[in-house]
């Protein structure tokens, strides 16, 4: 087991299976099927992201360097949470961008009973270590345990 310490953006504790992308995560392209077409598993629809295209995102520990794409990013994250189709958590190796942070924070504040912990600044070593299927546990203080 390895531990990584990051900065808490949206609080919470969770244990989930890792889904890992080493490229930027396009929120709209990845989650559009879940939001627009009723895909409850939130299967990643981003054909430009071979790491996670076709993989289930709902309920998974999404490990990523950063988000990319349009200014809809925050709204997409918030809406996925409102619909119950969000990842179990989002774990950023780099500092989070303002749009993803806004969507995550608004979901944690405005949506009663919805939890999607978000931790950023975990470092490049985090993304080098974690692999698909590994078990991830997040503690309240931003410590991420990878089994």
Q: Which domains does the chain have, with CATH numbers?
A: 2-146 (3.50.30.10)
Pairing type for strands 118-120 and 7-10 reads antiparallel
Pair 105, 73: CB distance under 8 Å: no
pLDDT at 106: 96
pLDDT at 134: 98
pLDDT at 70: 85
Structure tokens at 117: 């912990």
pLDDT at 88: 98
Q: Is 103 exposed, middle or buried (0-12, 13-18, 19+ CB in 10 A)?
A: buried
Of 39, 96, 92, 35, the C-alpha closest to 61 is: 92
Q: Encode the chain (147 residues) as per-residue pLDDT tens digits.
A: 999 999 999 999 999 999 999 999 999 999 999 999 999 999 999 999 999 999 999 999 999 999 998 899 999 999 999 999 999 999 999 999 999 999 999 999 999 988 999 999 999 999 999 999 999 999 999 999 999
Q: What angle do CA 42, 6, 134 make, to 5 degrees?
A: 50
pLDDT at 113: 85
CB burial of 62-75 (b: ≥16 within 10 Å; e: otherwise) equals: bbbbbbbbeeebbb
pLDDT at 61: 98
pTM greater than 0.85 (yes/no): yes
């Amino acid at each position: 087991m390895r531990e990584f310490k990051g900065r808490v953006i949206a609080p919470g504790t969770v244990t989930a299976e890792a889904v890992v992308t080493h490229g930027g995560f396009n929120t709209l392209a990845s989650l559009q099927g879940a939001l627009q077409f009723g895909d409850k598993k939130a299967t990643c629809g981003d054909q430009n992201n071979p790491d996670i295209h076709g993989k289930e995102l709902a309920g998974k520990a999404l490990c990523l360097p950063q988000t990319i794409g349009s200014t809809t990013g925050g709204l997409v994250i918030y809406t996925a949470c409102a619909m119950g189709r969000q990842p179990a958590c989002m774990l950023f190796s780099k500092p989070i961008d303002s749009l993803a942070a806004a969507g995550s924070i608004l979901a944690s504040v405005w949506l009663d009973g919805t939890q999607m912990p978000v931790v950023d600044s975990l470092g490049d070593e985090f993304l080098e270590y974690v692999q698909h299927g590994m078990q991830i546990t997040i503690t309240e203080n931003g410590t991420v345990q990878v089994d």
